[in-house]
Amino acid sequence: MLLVIGIVLKILIVVAISQGTVAYLILVERKVAAYAQDRIGPNRAGSEFGIPFALLQPLADGAKMLLKEDVVPKYVTKPLYILAPWIAITAAMIGFAVVPFGPVGPDQIINFQIAPNVNIGILYVFAVGSLAVYGVILAGWASNNKYAFIGALRSSAQLISYEMPLGMSILGMVLIAGSLDLSTIVDWQDRHVWGVFVQPLGFILFFVSAFAETNRLPFDLPESEQELVGGFHTEYSAMKFGMFFLGEYLHVITVSYLTVILFFGGWDLPYFLDAEQTGLISAIVKVGVLLIKVGLVILFIMWIRWTLPRFRYDQLMDLAWKSMIPLALVNLVATAAIVQLIRTYWV
């Protein structure tokens, strides 16, 4: 019974924190955009109450989204039209079940993971993350709008194309660490070296593919305003549109966690923190280290969005099929050969 209560509490905490984080990430992104475009950006919401930095702006944005008229066009296929945004946000949320938010293990006072010791953790994240493409396709098809449908086709082709290099790029770290469990991969980096130093090509391929999977610039072709109006969510408004937006930001958070956990040592801080430290204070410090790293990755993703121009669609597909997939295969084969040689002759 206590175990069930603990899991329910973890789920509620993760859902509450992730929703709040998304709200304030939107504020941060608006400020980054304003800085990149040399304008002021949000700076007033909350100033009447003495609250600085427009910290009430996310509440204003949320209220606006909830109070807007929820228009459902007559010509849409209503059940699928309503289902699509729910699929998008659910696929983004359930991936957090196996993502460790701090140290995990039998020696830890608190396991910072909803479902600890899942030995197929990374496989689960990729499996549920790929379900998001159903939300996109259903949204485009059920809208009965040619711009939405073309946007859905472009988005599904993009997501499926970049799934392959994304999946293959992490297999090098899986081979080296010898596990699909994310906390085990962090432990390996803690005992040896961060993944980015043993898998630099894998890291680059993973990070570029992650941009495409989250529909972030320069890979936001599914909703390019100049050609497709709003893309697959052209016919969505109010909170239904907000759910697609929320799902996109949750994917950004998940991708940032995976980047840090797979390639930047997770909660490891060389010379200061190691796996042998299992006290409550060291656990809190490790969670802080992980959050700082994740925050830096999210800021980098925002900076890229407001810096690089958008690819053309043919350039996007060429990059996936002619460059990234062959490079991911080469990286995988080379890593497998080196790991086998080391285990045969040195271990």
Assess whether 117 and 255 both reside in one domain: yes
Say if CB 215 and CB 161 are below 8 A apart: no
Domain final position from 20, 42, 67: 67
Assess whether 16 and 118 both reside in one domain: no
Assess whether 41 and 180 both reside in one domain: no
State the Cα–Cα distance between residues 192 and 211, nearest whole angstrom: 28
Assess whether 226 and 333 both reside in one domain: yes
Assess whether 33 and 12 both reside in one domain: yes
Domain final position from 45, 67, 89: 67
List the domain range (segments joined by +) for residue 12.
Answer: 1-67
Say if CB 83 and CB 138 are below 8 A apart: yes
Assess whether 91 and 167 both reside in one domain: yes
Assess whether 333 and 242 both reside in one domain: yes
SS3 at position 144: coil
Assess whether 88 and 31 both reside in one domain: no
pLDDT value of residue 337: 93
pTM (two decimals) = 0.89
3-state secondary structure string across 203-253: HHHHHHHHHHHCCCCCCCHHHCHHHHCCHHHCCCCHHHHHHHHHHHHHHHH
Assess whether 85 and 52 both reside in one domain: no
10-residue mean pLDDT series, the chain (347 residues): 73 77 84 88 83 85 85 88 89 82 74 76 84 86 88 85 89 90 87 91 91 78 68 83 84 89 88 74 86 92 85 85 93 93 81
Assess whether 90 and 184 both reside in one domain: yes
Could you tell me where the DSSP H helices lie in the chain? 2-36, 57-67, 78-94, 121-129, 132-142, 146-177, 182-191, 195-198, 200-213, 225-228, 238-263, 280-305, 313-318, 325-345
Assess whether 48 and 89 both reside in one domain: no
Nearest Cα to Cα of residue 168 among 60, 5, 330, 286: 330
pLDDT value of residue 222: 67
Assess whether 154 and 269 both reside in one domain: yes
pLDDT value of residue 146: 86
pLDDT value of residue 224: 66
